[in-house]
Structure 1
Amino acid sequence: MTTTSLKATDTGPALRLLSLGAGVQSTTVLLLACEGEIARFDVALFADTGWEPRVVYTNLDRLASHAERKGIPVRRVSAGNIRADALDPRHRFVSMPLHTLNPDGSRGLARRQCTSEYKIIPLKKAARELLGYPHPRRVPRGVFAEQAIGISIDEFHRAKDSGLRFLRNFFPLLELGFDRARCVDFLAERGFGETVKSACVGCPFHGNAGWRWVRDNDPQGWAEAVEFDRAIRHGYPHATTHGQELRGQYFLHRSCLPLDEVDLDAPTKSRSKKHLRLITSDSADVAADSVEEDGDPDGCSPWSCRSGTPTTSERAA
C-alpha cells in the first residue's frame, strides 16, 4: 500500500492495525485474522518495553513467523528498555507506579505514566509513520487507521477509544463474544496453549499470583526484579542526582516489603476464593484480597489504563 493511496482515503480506514501484546487475547485476535475469521491486518505492532518474560518473547517470535506466512507482518516498536532506563542516572525519570512507604507509615503509589511512555507513544508514532504523516506533520481530517485491541467480554469495561482522530480502536473479541476462557481454548486448539499473560517482569501491578509465576517460571526475570526492587528503594538514580529528594521508600510489591522477603505463597487474609464469594458484609476486604492475590484487574494495556489518556494536543494532532 503506497503513501499516495493512503492520503486519498477518506471514506474508511487507510490501515488496519493490531496492537499486539503477545498475551492471550491479542494472540487470539491475530490468529483469527490469520484464519480469515476476521479481516486481516496490514501490520501487527508490538510495543516492546524491553522487560517482558522470556516466554512472551518466545511466543512473539513464533507468532510473528506464523502471521508473516499468512501475509501479516509483525513489527516491534520501542521507546527503550524500561528497566535499564530506570536504573540509568543519565536517563530521565521513568514513571512506574511503584508502591511507596512514607515516613509516617502511610502508603501510596508513584506516578503511573510508563504505559504512555513505553507503549502508547511508540504505537502512536508507528501509526503516524504507516499512514504517511510522521510527527510533526498533521494527519488530515478523515485519514485514520483502525486499531484492533484484544479485550474480551469479561473485561469489556476496559474497552476505550484512543482519543486520537487518526487512530480508532475496535474490539474483535467483544464482537465475537469471546471471553478469556474461550481464548485459552482457542489457542490450545491451535498449538499456542503455552501463551501467558503479557506484562513487564517488574510490573508493580502484579498480585501474589503474578509474582509467584515470575519466581517459578522465569528465574532470570525474578533475579532481575529482586535486584531492581533493591536498586529503587531510595529513589531513581536520575531523580536523586537531580536533587529530587525522596521522602520515603519505593517497592515493587504492594506490601511495601522487599520482594525477596514477601511470603508469596501465604493465603490472603480473607481465606479462599470460594469463601470470598460467600462473604456479603465485607466487600472491601474481599476486593483488597482479590487485588493482593491477582493484581490490578485493569492492568496497563495501551488505552485501557488511567495513564493512557491522550493530551489535548495529541487529540488534535
Structure 2
Amino acid sequence: MLALSAKGILPRVDYAIFADTGWEPRAVYTHLDRLEREIAEPAGIPVLRVTSGNIRKDALDPDHRFASMPLYILNQDGKPGMTRRQCTGEYKIKPIKKKVRELLGFPYPARIPRGTFVEQWVGISTDEFHRAKDSDVQYMLNRHPLIDMGWSRSDCIRYLTSLGLADTPKSSCLGCPFHGNAQWRSIRDASPDEWADVVEFDAAIRKGNARANATGKRLLGEAFLHRSRVPLDQAPIDHVTAAEWAALQQELDDEAGLEELEDGVIDGCSPWACRGEVEPIQDDFGLAT
C-alpha cells in the first residue's frame, strides 16, 4: 500500500506507521530501511516507528508486566494447551492507537470530539477478505484498499517484484510461535546468531514468564515455541515422522494442517489481522490447569 500510494496509484497517504515489537528479524528492519529510503522519502511520506517496548526483554524481566505470547503448553497430565495471545494488542495495536491520537492532537486521556477521525488503510487482500473488520474506536475509520482494487496476495507479489521488492520478508517476531517449519529452518540456516537467540528464549520461557514465576504463579507444565512441544533445537523442523504427524492430528486438519506446519499460517502478523486468531486451551501465562 505504501508503494501504491507513493507511485500515485492510490491517493497519497499522510503517514505510514510501523509497530515495532523490538524483536523482528534483522531482514525486516533492513527491508523497512530500504522502503523508507527508496519509496517513502522520495514521495514525501513520513514512516513513523512506534513501540511499546521489546517483547523479548519484557518476557524475561521479572519486574515487567508481560502481555503473553501464544505459547504451546504441555500440561502435567500430558494434555496440550496454549497460552492466551495478548502480544498483538499490547505491542502493535496499542502503540498505533497512541500515535494516531497524537496525530489528531488528542493524546490520551483527552476526549476526541465526535466526527474527528483518521482514515486508516489496512493491507488485507482478497484472499483474506473475511478478516476485514471495522475499527473498534470511532477515531479510526478502517479502509481496505487492496480489497477495493480486487488484489490478491499474488497480485501484491507481482507488483512488489516489478519494483525490485520481490524479497519482501514477513513481519513477525523472531520467536513467534506461529512460524512454520520453513521459517524456523530459514532462521537456523541463514542467521545462526538469530537462531541461537530464539533457542535461548525458548529455553528461558519453559516454566512461564519471569514475572509470573517471581510472584509465585509458576506454570504447572512447560511452555514451548514449537507446536511439537519439545525444545526448539530438538524440534522436528526438517522432517516430520509419521508418528509425530499422527500426534499432531488433535490440533490440525488433515490437509491444511501439514501445509500450516511447514509454512505457518499464511496471513501476516498484521496488527489488524494477526495470524494467531486461535482460541486458547490454556487460559493464561500463569497457572496451567
Q: Same fold (TM over 0.5)?
A: yes
8 Å Cα contact 1:268-1:292 kept in structure 2:
no
Correspondence for 1:65: 37
8 Å Cα contact 1:269-1:289 kept in structure 2:
no
Correspondence for 2:83: 110
Correspondence for 2:27: 55
8 Å Cα contact 2:19-2:96 kept in structure 1:
yes
Q: Which amino acid aligns with 1:284?
A: D
Q: Which amino acid aligns with 1:293?
A: E
Give the alignment partner of residue 130 of structure 2, picking from 157, 161, 177: 157
Q: Distance in 1 between matches of 2:228 and 2:171?
A: 23
**1:236 lines up with 2:209 in the alignment:** yes
Alignment map for 1:208-287 (pairs within 5 Å): 208-267=181-240, 269=242, 284-287=253-256
Structure 1 residue matching 2:253: 3-state secondary structure:
helix
1:254-306: CA deviations, max 9, x gaps?
A: 11010000121215759xxxxxxxxxxxx932233233222234554212247
Change (3 A) 1:136 1:307: farther
Give the alignment partner of residue 11 of structure 2, picking from 39, 45, 54: 39
CA RMSD of aligned residues (A): 1.9
1:158-187: CA deviations, max 9, x gaps?
A: 211221100011111111122112211211
Q: Distance in 1 between matches of 2:175 and 2:222?
A: 17
Q: Distance in 1 between matches of 2:190 and 2:212?
A: 33
Give the alignment partner of residue 100 of structure 1, picking from 50, 70, 73: 73
Structure 1 residue matching 2:3: 3-state secondary structure:
helix
Change (3 A) 1:53 1:33: same
**1:294 lines up with 2:263 in the alignment:** yes
Change (3 A) 1:258 1:71: same
Q: Distance in 2 between matches of 1:167 and 1:267?
A: 44
Correspondence for 1:7: none
Correspondence for 1:6: none
1:216-254: CA deviations, max 9, x gaps?
A: 233222111100000001111111001112110000001
Unaligned stretches of 5+ residues in structure 2: 244-251, 279-289
Q: Distance in 2 between matches of 1:297 and 1:164?
A: 27
Correspondence for 2:102: 129
Correspondence for 2:142: 169
Change (3 A) 1:155 1:269: farther
8 Å Cα contact 2:21-2:54 kept in structure 1:
yes
C-alpha deviation, 1:206, in angstroms: 1.0
1:135-171: CA deviations, max 9, x gaps?
A: 0011111110011111111121221122110001111
Q: Percent identity?
A: 56
Structure 2 residue matching 1:253: 3-state secondary structure:
coil
Unaligned stretches of 5+ residues in structure 1: 1-28, 271-282, 309-317
Q: TM-score, normalised by structure 2?
A: 0.88
Correspondence for 2:286: none
Q: Which amino acid aligns with 2:117?
A: F
Q: Which amino acid aligns with 2:124?
A: I
Q: Distance in 2 between matches of 1:123 and 1:307?
A: 19
Correspondence for 1:276: none
Aligned residue-pair number? 268
Q: Distance in 1 between matches of 2:24 and 2:66?
A: 20
Change (3 A) 1:116 1:58: same
